[in-house]
Amino acid sequence: MPKYTPNLNIQLADPATDGNQTFNIETMINDPVEKLDEALGLVPVSGDVRAATTGNIVLSGAQTIDGIALAAGNRVLVKNQTAGKENGIYTVSAGAWTRTADADTTAKLAAGVSVYVEEGTANGKSRWQMANTGAVILGTTALLFEKTGGPGSATDTVIGSRTVSDATAPTGDSGTVTTLFGWLANMVKAITGGATWRTLPTMSIAAIKAVLDAATNAATANTLMKRDANGRAQVAAPAAAGDIARKDTVDGAIGAHKAEADPHGQYVKKAGDTMVGSLVVPGMEIQNSAPIMVWTETDSSNKKWYAVADGGVFSIRENTLGASVMEFQAGGDVRVKNGSMGLAATTVSDITYFVRTDGNDNNSGTANTAAGAFKTIGKAISMIPQVVNHNVAINVGAGTYTDEIFLPGRVGSGGVWFHGESNTTTICPGVHIMACGCLVEIEKFKFTRSNFHAVWLRWNSRVFVDNCTMTEATSGYCGVLVEAGTASIINCTISNKGVAIQAMSSAFIGTWNNSGTGNDESYTARDGASCITIGGTTRINGNLWTTSGGMILPDAGVINPWGDNTWNTRTAVRANRANNLSLTSGINTKVVFETENYDTLGEYDPATGRFTAQKQGLYLVSFSLRINKSVKDYLVGKVYVNGAVSTVPYQQYSNEGINHASGAIILALNAGDYVEIYVAAFGGTNTLETSVDGSYVLIRAI
């Protein structure tokens, strides 16, 4: 009985059963061979090649392909021919190349081609397969090849589209591409905290790093706080109930309460038993006019009351007291041992203090460094003794400070100088100098207070305010207010105030080179005060105002009631035409008087013909206009204020020859109002004359 193979179903003879049966050539030989040939045709061409082309080549001779010098007999995958039908597997020879025996017929390519490239810069160690999808006829059909393995084979086309889910956390280190990318997406979502792995974080890693890098141990706003090498960090001075308390704040509070609750044991010693001069009680603030009881412990009947003077100092009204322990009671008591009395603190030499925004009030204040300077202006002021017989300088660095410059009750032959870095970078609310008998100067500050006077000077001997700016809008308040004292305001910019500079209560102010705009009043003087103003090359715009015996004087002063020495500080302008001016009949034409004869305050512009008043007041404006004409004619001159006609004064001549018009008017002008002269001629074309006495304008303040 015959047998058959399992795969190709080829008949086999069985000697045990078939014996010496005669063979059927068709079934026993031809049929099996045809099936084998058919089966072999279904197996793709598969084999190694030494190299693969990277571009079109000539299919003959030994040559170098993809960096490999080929020799005769080497197999080559040709895949980049311009004529795609030439692609295939070839054997290198000295002459024309031939297709390899396993890929030289259409039938052999029917099942496809898959080869491994052994060498080459671009294609080495890669696998390629024929990519044609339809029927192929060798030598006719363009053969296509695609990379299926090796370097660069994992293309989008090969891998295909994949969907990533970020819902599953990683469970290992290996898996499919989709699984690995899903785990990675899950980790990205966990790190960013976003709704999905694609949600952008609110801050980038670079932005977070910038915040971390900006962390500092200084009290810097809007930065993270870190500790320094000693484990310390600083915070700003507390302002709200929930703020962190600082050591200096706590120490100050403890000191204040200690002074109020337990001033016992405060001793001031002075050689001898004589009590003279003024007494300062250390550690205790004594209010103005508060009574203090003084008596001896051995004789309680010897009690005397003393009144505290302004600034926490009271005068001793008795030349000597006995050498015994004394008590001073004011909401608590302070003892002065053995009858020794302390005089008010006095400077012993010149001294300079420094204030910086990165300083600390626990520093000495004597070095211009973060470790040496004070942090607040008030701390530096607290170091100034009551009696100043030397020069005390307080240098304030650039930055914004929350405390004002408040200096009360300093006397002496020396002075106190507050120096800012510049009037744009050294910023504080304002100034209050009170009852100082020594010289005080404030320079190069910007004052920003908008709910009170920027600079308030009361009862001082001499205060200079130099090169400061104060431009915050402040309705009803002054830029500088001086009461019952002497002050000089120099090179300051003062804008947007109710009054730029005001003197009152017998104060005396001198000003120089100040400027500013938007003030309701520029200078005011009241209650017997005097203000010598408007010196220098720049001025504060605005009205002048006096009341209750106040007086405002120009910088030249006044010699007699008629002010004969002040003519050059009052408006006086004369100008005439320098060129002929053609006039069209019936048309108003502005007359520009190009030649200035004089202009005391620089209020006339000969380029535009415009006079602009610097001050509010009454002004006499007169003009003369003349044309040369040989026929009967007439003309009209007009005065314009702020671009509108104010009046029509004219004189008309009808005789032949010279035609002439002139006029005069008194105008009430505000500071900044401007005046121009216009002319209109009638009767034909005319020319305005250029003579000095023929066409000119005169303006005087009256």
- In the chain, count of helices (H) and strands (E)? 8, 52
Lowest model confidence (mean pLDDT) among 4-8, 84-88, 110-114, 168-172: 4-8
Q: Which fold has domain 570-701?
A: Jelly Rolls (2.60.120)
Please report the pLDDT score of residue 81 as a whole number: 96
CB-CB contact of 309 with 375 (8 Å): no
How would residue 15 be classed by pLDDT, with cut points 50, 70 and 90? low
Q: What rounded mean pLDDT belongs to the chain? A: 79
**149 pLDDT more than 90:** no
Q: What is the pLDDT of residues 266-292, one digit of tens each?
A: 333 333 333 333 344 444 444 433 444
Q: Are strands 45-49 and 113-117 parallel, antiparallel or unpaired?
A: parallel
Please report the pLDDT score of residue 154 as a whole number: 62
Please report the pLDDT score of residue 689 as a whole number: 74
Task: Return the higher-pLDDT residue of 540 and 472.
Answer: 472
The torsion of the CA quartet 422, 424, 426, 430, rounded to 10 degrees, works out to 120
Q: What is the pLDDT of residues 298-310, one digit of tens each?
A: 444 444 444 333 3
Pick from 546, 539, 504: which is nearest to 519 by CA?
539
Q: Against a cut of 0.75, is the pTM above it?
A: no
Cα–Cα distance measured from residue 596 to residue 575, given in angstroms and rounded to the nearest whole number = 4
**24 pLDDT more than 60:** yes
Q: What is the pLDDT of residues 614-656, one digit of tens each?
A: 999 899 998 888 776 644 466 788 899 999 987 655 544 434 4
Task: Return the higher-pLDDT residue of 558 and 680.
Answer: 680
Could you say which DSSP state residue 700 is in?
E
Q: Which helix (H) or strand (E) holds 186?
A: helix 177-192
Residue type, 358: D
Query: And the tokens for 3?
Result: 């047998």
Q: Are strands 313-315 and 405-408 parallel, antiparallel or unpaired?
A: unpaired
Lowest model confidence (mean pLDDT) among 216-225, 335-344, 568-577: 335-344
CB-CB contact of 679 with 637 (8 Å): yes
Please report the pLDDT score of residue 258 as a whole number: 54
Instruction: Return all residues near 678 (Cβ < 8 A) that are at least 6 apart.
Output: 588, 589, 590, 591, 637, 638, 639, 640, 645
Please report the pLDDT score of residue 22 as a whole number: 59
**260 pLDDT more than 70:** no
Task: Please state the rounded mean pLDDT for residues 353-373.
Answer: 96
**693 pLDDT more than 80:** no
Please report the pLDDT score of residue 307 as a whole number: 39
The shares of helix, strand and coil residues in the chain, as percent rounded to the nearest 5, are 15, 35, 50
Q: Which fold has domain 351-560?
A: Pectate Lyase C-like (2.160.20)
The proportion of the chain whose per-residue pLDDT surpasses 70, expressed as a percent, equals 73
Q: Is 598 exposed, middle or buried (CB count within 10 Å of its CB: 0-12, 13-18, 19+)?
A: exposed
The proportion of the chain whose per-residue pLDDT surpasses 90, expressed as a percent, equals 41
Query: And the tokens for 202?
Result: 């609110």
Q: Is 686 exposed, middle or buried (CB count within 10 Å of its CB: 0-12, 13-18, 19+)?
A: buried
Lowest model confidence (mean pLDDT) among 4-18, 188-202, 224-238: 4-18
Lowest model confidence (mean pLDDT) among 301-305, 444-448, 602-606: 301-305
Residue type, 522: S
Task: Please state the rounded mean pLDDT for residues 566-578.
Answer: 84
Task: Please state the rounded mean pLDDT for residues 77-87.
Answer: 95
Lowest model confidence (mean pLDDT) among 27-36, 135-144, 281-290, 352-361: 281-290
Pick from 406, 277, 404: which is nearest to 346 by CA?
277
Q: What is the pLDDT of residues 101-132, one digit of tens each?
A: 888 888 888 778 889 999 999 999 999 999 99
Q: Which residue has tokens 């003077």?
A: 309
C-alpha to C-alpha distances, 304 to 140, 288, 321, 324, nearest whole angstrom: 134, 18, 11, 15
Please report the pLDDT score of residue 389 as a whole number: 92
Pick from 519, 399, 428, 420: which is nearest to 466 by CA?
420
**43 pLDDT more than 80:** no
CB-based contacts of 560-568 (< 8 A; 24+ apart in sequence)? 567/600, 568/600
Task: Return the exposure string of 442-465: e unless at least 16 CB atoms fall within 10 Å of the residue's CB, then b.
Answer: bbbbbbebbeebbbbbbbbebbbb
**256 pLDDT more than 70:** no
Cα–Cα distance measured from residue 518 to residue 319, given in angstroms and rounded to the nearest whole number = 57
**262 pLDDT more than 70:** no
Backbone angles phi, psi at 461, to 5 degrees: -70, -50
CB-CB contact of 116 with 49 (8 Å): yes
Strand ranges across the sheet with 313-315: 278-280, 313-315, 304-309, 291-296, 326-329, 333-336
Please report the pLDDT score of residue 248 as a whole number: 84
**Cβ neighbour number for residue 306 with a 10 Å cutoff:** 18
Lowest model confidence (mean pLDDT) among 131-140, 209-218, 275-284: 275-284
CB-CB contact of 111 with 41 (8 Å): yes
CB-CB contact of 152 with 84 (8 Å): no
**477 pLDDT more than 70:** yes
Cα–Cα distance measured from residue 128 to residue 286, given in angstroms and rounded to the nearest whole number = 102
Query: And the tokens for 693?
Result: 């006495």
**179 pLDDT more than 70:** yes
Instruction: Return all residues near 265 (Cβ < 8 A) that are at least 6 apart.
Output: 335
CB-CB contact of 296 with 306 (8 Å): no
Query: And the tokens for 186?
Result: 């899950």
CB-CB contact of 550 with 571 (8 Å): no
Lowest model confidence (mean pLDDT) among 32-41, 218-227, 498-507, 601-610: 32-41
Q: What is the pLDDT of residues 309-324, one digit of tens each?
A: 333 333 333 323 333 3
Instruction: Return all residues near 16 (Cβ < 8 A) that are at least 6 apart.
Output: none
- Residue 18 φ/ψ region, left for φ over 0, alpha for ψ in the -120 to 50 degree band, beta for the rest: alpha
What is the DSSP track for 306-361?
A: EEEETTTEEE--SSB--SS-EEEESSSEEEEGGG--PBPPB--S-EEEEE-TT--T
Cα–Cα distance measured from residue 664 to residue 641, given in angstroms and rounded to the nearest whole number = 14
Please report the pLDDT score of residue 14 as a whole number: 65
Domain locations along the chain: 3-41, 45-157, 265-339, 351-560, 570-701
Q: Which fold has domain 265-339?
A: Immunoglobulin-like (2.60.40)
Q: What is the pLDDT of residues 427-443, one digit of tens each?
A: 999 999 999 999 999 99
Cα–Cα distance measured from residue 187 to residue 167, given in angstroms and rounded to the nearest whole number = 10
**663 pLDDT more than 90:** no
How would residue 94 be classed by pLDDT, with cut points 50, 70 and 90? very high
Cα–Cα distance measured from residue 134 to residue 84, given in angstroms and rounded to the nearest whole number = 15
DSSP E strands: which ranges in 102-177?
Answer: 113-117, 126-130, 145-149
Pick from 571, 676, 554, 665: which is nearest to 616 by CA?
571
Cα–Cα distance measured from residue 654 to residue 631, given in angstroms and rounded to the nearest whole number = 9
CB-CB contact of 266 with 284 (8 Å): yes
Please report the pLDDT score of residue 261 as a whole number: 44
Please report the pLDDT score of residue 238 as a whole number: 84
Cα–Cα distance measured from residue 506 to residue 487, given in angstroms and rounded to the nearest whole number = 12
Q: Are strands 75-78 and 88-91 parallel, antiparallel or unpaired?
A: antiparallel
Query: And the tokens for 432?
Result: 């209050």
Q: Which of 149-153, 356-360, 408-412, 659-663 has the highest mean pLDDT?
A: 356-360
CB-CB contact of 378 with 429 (8 Å): no
